[in-house]
Each structure stands twice: as C-alpha cells, then as structure tokens.
C-alpha cells in the first residue's frame, strides 16, 4: 500500500478543523499510520520548502507554518498520494472545488489548511523528514475487505 504525508497547517489547527479533516480521510478509507503534533522550526522548513527559497514569499510561508503547532500524518491506501491530493483540492482555496478540503475550508493561497505530498517519491522523502521509522506503524486494518475488491490489494 502507498503511504503519503499530510500536514494540517496552523490555519487548520487554529480553526479547530483537525478532527474534521482527519475524519474525511478516514471515511474515504485511508489508514492513519502515524500522527503527531509538532512545532515546526526554521531548519525543517528551509528543507521542506527549499524549492521555494528563491521566491519573495518564502519567509512569509515559513512564518505562517510556525504560527502554531501543526499536525503531521502518514496516511496509507491504494493510490494514497493521488487520492489525498484530489481530496485536498487545488492550492488556492478560492479556486478549489466545493467538496475538497480547501474548497470547503479555505479562502487563501497560503492559509490553505493542508499540505499533501505531490508524488510517491516526494512522499517518501517528506515522511522521513517528519517521522522517525518507529513513529509509522504497520497494523492490521480490518476494513480492508470492505474498501477494496480482492484483486485491488
């Protein structure tokens, strides 16, 4: 099964949307394999957003991500990266489709509730950045027979 990372940003934490957002992924059928609250610091954000370091809004993004603790989660399921990104919606909350997390809860490009890994390769790198190996769990997920046909897993 594929694993991916999500970060519930300070905009989700401060607006008390943690449970509601996690519940959407659980109801979809994704398995939570790791979850923790953490206060992000410059060092990890410089690494996480290195691809944006040359842009004028780089410091603003980092400041936003350090405004309060965040929730980081490892989610697992068939095509988890694609499914999670689809559920998150496009980056700009004003453009995100209703029914997506950003479409339902965000009016901003920056304060857009959630970060979701954009590829399987990126997810692997990001999961290692935010989780120690022992913080991601493999356990029997009993609903599997009710989520997928036998030939899908």
DSSP the chain: -EEEEEEE-HHHHHTT-HHHHHHHHHHHTPEEEEEEEE---HHHHHHHTGGGTTSTTHHHHHHHHTSS-EEEEEEEETTHHHHHHHHH--SSTTTSPTTSHHHHH---SSS-SEEE-SSHHHHHHHHHHH--GGGS-----TTHHHHS-GGG-
The pLDDT assigned to 142 comes to 82
Instruction: State the distance between the two ends of the chain, measured CA to CA, in whole angstroms.
Output: 8
The pLDDT assigned to 74 comes to 98
Name, in order, each residue with C-beta under 8 angstroms of 122's C-beta and a sequence gap of 6 or more. none
- Dump pLDDT digits (tens) for 40-60: 999 999 999 999 999 999 999
The pLDDT assigned to 66 comes to 98
The pLDDT assigned to 98 comes to 98
Q: Note if 115 is an active site residue.
A: yes
The pLDDT assigned to 151 comes to 86
- Dump pLDDT digits (tens) for 123-141: 999 999 999 999 999 998 8
The pLDDT assigned to 152 comes to 84
Q: What are the structural domain ranges in the chain?
A: 2-138
Q: What is the pTM of this model?
A: 0.93
Residues (pLDDT < 70) of the chain are none
- 113, 70 Cβ separation under 8 angstroms: no
Instruction: Write the Ramachandran bin of 29: left for phi over 0, alpha for psi from -120 to 50, otherwise beta.
Output: left
Name, in order, each residue with C-beta under 8 angstroms of 128's C-beta and a sequence gap of 6 or more. none
Nearest to 107 by CA among 123, 83, 91: 91
The pLDDT assigned to 141 comes to 87
Which CATH class name applies to 2-138? alpha beta
């Amino acid at each position: 099964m594929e694993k991916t990372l999500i970060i519930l940003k300070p905009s989700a934490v401060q607006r008390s949307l943690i449970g509601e957002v996690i519940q959407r992924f659980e109801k979809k059928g994704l398995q939570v394999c790791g979850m923790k609250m953490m206060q992000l610091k410059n060092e990890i954000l410089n690494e996480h957003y290195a691809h944006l370091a040359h842009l004028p809004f780089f410091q603003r993004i980092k400041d936003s991500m350090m405004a309060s603790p965040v929730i980081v989660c490892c989610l697992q399921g068939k095509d988890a990266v694609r499914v999670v990104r689809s559920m998150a919606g496009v980056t700009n909350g004003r453009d995100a489709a209703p029914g997506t997390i950003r479409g339902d809860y965000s009016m901003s490009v920056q304060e857009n509730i959630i970060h979701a890994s954009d590829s399987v390769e990126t997810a692997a790198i990001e999961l290692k950045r935010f989780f120690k190996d022992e913080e991601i769990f493999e356990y029997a997920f009993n609903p599997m027979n009710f989520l997928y046909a036998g030939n899908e897993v």
